[in-house]
Amino acid sequence: MQSLENKVKEARKQGNEVLCLLMLDEMAIMKKIEFDGKKTFGFVDIGSSVTDDGAPAATQALVFMVVCVNGFWKVPIGFFFIHGMAGKEKANLVRECLHQLGQIGIKVISLTCHFAMLSDLGASMDPENLDPSFPHPSSGHKIFVILDVCHMLKLLRNCLASKDGGLKDRDGVPIRWKYLEDLNSIQEREGIHLVNNQGVQGSQVLKNSTIILKTLPLSRPKKSSSRKKS
């Protein structure tokens, strides 16, 4: 926390407040127990510094990081070795983290995370009772929730693949996984892929990819395939 305290001191000298967002995510790690002659490593550790041979081996690292929104820096502030963790436990770690940051003068205004802990923090993503914020455990100011975009895309992908046809667009047309398979087949056959590159080459690929999308049937896939030349 010393480096963060220095950031706060520098900002206060200029009459500024340090505003940050808090991010947390899990990263997979290799499951392995090691002994260096003095200490055993590899078990679940949430900061107690107590080695328990009966504890499961850690399979993930839960990492916390703060990103300054009115500056140009980001700092990892903690990590925990876990083997799965319930939303309630994660919420407790978040509260402790927010408390520690508040003590040194950092104001957290948003939290980027997954769904699991939101209800335990006091936020609600229920469309019928939407409240994407929760009170800071110390100061009480509102902290707004930003869902992890990459995780949400993975959930949408899984939902689309497992509930084929269960999702519909605004016109009531089923959204099917087969359309993505058809697009992938066309890309492999034509040697053209959707990209986000810029420049002449990227623009040409995007142009040709647009033509492919126009030829792809979006509602009723047909067996016959007609190619449209650019």
Q: Return phi, psi of residue 5, to 5°.
A: -60, -40
pLDDT recorded at residue 95: 93
Q: Is the dihedral of CA 205, 150, 152, 180 positive or negative?
A: positive
| HEC-encoded secondary structure of 39-96 | CEECECECCCCCCCCCCCECCEEEEEEEEECCCCCEEEEEEEEECCCCHHHHHHHHHH
71 three-state secondary structure: coil
Residue with tokens 């997954």: 114
pLDDT tens digits, the chain, 230 residues: what are they? 788 888 888 888 888 899 999 999 888 888 888 888 888 888 888 876 655 667 788 888 999 999 999 989 999 998 988 888 888 898 999 999 999 999 999 999 999 988 888 889 989 888 888 899 999 999 999 999 998 888 888 888 788 777 766 778 888 888 888 887 888 888 888 877 766 444 444 444 444 444 444 444 444 444 444 444 44
Distance CA 131, CA 140 (A): 15
Which amino acid appears at position 104 of this protein? I
Distance CA 43, CA 56 (A): 6
Domain boundaries, the chain: 2-151, 168-230
Q: Is the pTM of this model over 0.75?
A: no
pLDDT recorded at residue 40: 81
What value does the CA radius of gyration of the chain take, rounded to a whole number of Å?
A: 24
Distance CA 100, CA 97 (A): 5
pLDDT recorded at residue 23: 93
Spell out the residues 6+ positions from residue 223 whose beta carbon is closer than 8 angstroms to its own: none
pLDDT recorded at residue 217: 45
Spell out the residues 6+ positions from residue 74 whose beta carbon is closer than 8 angstroms to its own: 65, 66, 67, 68
